[in-house]
């Protein structure tokens, strides 16, 4: 049954309001319910009325993000007479969909978190009396998002039991098979074999009855529903951490159950985390800038930082610019260790060579103490060698 047929079944124009749909459903139920109407076709009509109501309700869930369920206080309904049974839902708190992001909670990779399975939009259904549904998802974070926190909108699909047929895929009581006229046997024509032979009817399997497919799920017994949950991921998450978040509730566009999240970091192009969890950066710098103690730009999870080079120094430690030491917005951050590699040009142009020779001449005229001491020892050796000659 498509959506236009469903509206037509209730005597409404396509796109009628939810209030008009409920009012039409109540009016038809009060007239055609088998407990009130003894007509032979009442049960079949009641099934179509409920199927139409379910079809419209499922369609409006995706558009309006709300599912009020069947109106309360209506006439009693019996599943055996074609009334629509209630759909199974497991309550698991509110989050996701239209309620804004909710914080996820969990443990580290070595803790007692949810199962490690993860997928794109996987799901695990739960029985009505069993544990709530758990949907496992893998969430990828950049290093910057792991430091400052992030919000993710997770979308996926779930297969749910059809409420119109309670998962059976059938609509109402089976009807007599039209192919064998309810006998369960089919006789061959006299010109094919004489005397005619009887064989089990292939259309009904020899039972004489044929189940009518549910018009809502088209005989599948289940419906595929889309969900969307928005979760807030706190700062300080590490690669492999596992968290749990509320599914948001089906009435808000999410689902009834829990999200089991596994955090995975995406590789960073400029930063890396060593085996001890320390954030590191390896930075090539111009050799002349290193000698001149110039300022250079250093990448960090919160943006570019300015760092001054020191001659003779290759390793620098920037306090408070690394990864958070714990989970949460108020957690203190560790250090960022920067290792610089001075790079000198293999060849010099004429201008660079002239400047270098000038620098060498200045240094020669004003040598440092260690060089001056060496020059004095060298001159003394020359003088002694000349005297001995």
- The rounded average pLDDT for each run of 10 residues, N- to C-terminus, in the chain (389 residues) is 77 82 83 75 79 82 48 36 33 39 56 34 43 88 94 90 82 78 70 67 78 82 88 93 88 87 95 91 94 95 95 95 90 94 91 89 87 90 85
CA distance 209 to 55: 27
pLDDT confidence of residue 98: 44
Q: Give the other-Cβ count within 10 Å of 333's Cβ.
A: 20
Report cis status (omega within 30 of 0) of the bond before 39: no
Domain 272-343 listed as CATH 3.40.718.10: no
CA distance 315 to 348: 27
**Which residue in 320, 343, 342, 315 sits closest to 332, CA to CA?**
320
What is the radius of gyration, based on Cα positions, of the chain? Answer: 39
Q: How far apart, in Å, are the Cα atoms of 178 and each of 184, 192, 204, 207, 209?
A: 10, 22, 9, 12, 9
Architecture category of domain 1-84 in CATH: Orthogonal Bundle (1.10)
Q: 213 — phi, psi (to 5°)?
A: -65, 145
Specify the fold of 102-164+219-265: HSP40/DNAj peptide-binding domain (2.60.260)
CA distance 106 to 9: 48
pLDDT confidence of residue 93: 31
């Amino acid at each position: 049954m498509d959506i236009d047929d469903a509206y037509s079944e209730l005597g409404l124009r396509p796109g009628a309001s939810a209030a008009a749909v409920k009012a039409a459903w109540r009016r038809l139920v009060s007239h055609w319910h088998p407990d009130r109407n003894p007509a032979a076709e009442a049960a079949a009509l009641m099934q179509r009325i409920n199927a139409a109501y379910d079809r419209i309700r499922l369609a409006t869930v995706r558009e309006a993000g709300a599912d009020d369920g069947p109106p309360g206080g209506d006439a009693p309904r019996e599943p055996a007479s074609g009334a629509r049974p209630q759909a199974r839902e497991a309550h698991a708190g509110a989050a996701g969909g239209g309620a804004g992001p909710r914080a996820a909670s969990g443990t580290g990779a070595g803790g007692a978190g949810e199962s490690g399975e993860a997928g794109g939009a996987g799901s695990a259904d739960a029985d009505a009396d069993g544990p709530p549904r758990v949907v496992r998802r893998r969430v990828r974070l950049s290093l910057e998002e792991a430091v400052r926190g992030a919000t993710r909108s997770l979308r996926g699909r779930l297969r749910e039991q059809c409420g119109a047929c309670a998962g059976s895929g059938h609509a109402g009581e089976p009807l007599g098979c039209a192919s064998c006229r309810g006998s369960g046997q089919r006789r061959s024509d006299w010109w094919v074999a004489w005397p005619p032979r009887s064989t089990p009817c292939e259309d009904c399997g020899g039972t004489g009855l044929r189940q009518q497919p549910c018009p809502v799920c088209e005989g599948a017994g289940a419906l595929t529903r889309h969900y969307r949950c928005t979760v807030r991921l706190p700062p300080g998450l590490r690669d492999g951490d596992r968290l749990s978040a509320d599914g948001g509730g089906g009435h808000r566009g999410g689902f009834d159950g829990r999200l089991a999240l596994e955090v995975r970091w995406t590789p960073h192009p400029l930063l890396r985390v060593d085996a001890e969890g320390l954030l590191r950066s390896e930075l090539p710098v111009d050799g002349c800038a290193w000698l001149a103690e110039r300022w250079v730009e250093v990448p960090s999870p919160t943006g570019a930082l300015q760092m001054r080079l020191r001659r003779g120094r290759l390793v620098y430690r920037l306090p408070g610019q690394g990864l958070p030491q714990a989970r949460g917005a108020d957690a203190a951050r560790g250090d960022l260790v920067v290792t610089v590699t001075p790079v000198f040009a293999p060849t010099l142009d004429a201008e660079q060579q002239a400047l270098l020779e000038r620098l060498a001449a200045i240094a020669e005229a004003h040598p440092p103490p260690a060089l001056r001491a060496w020059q004095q020892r060298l001159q003394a050796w020359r003088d002694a060698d000349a005297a001995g000659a």
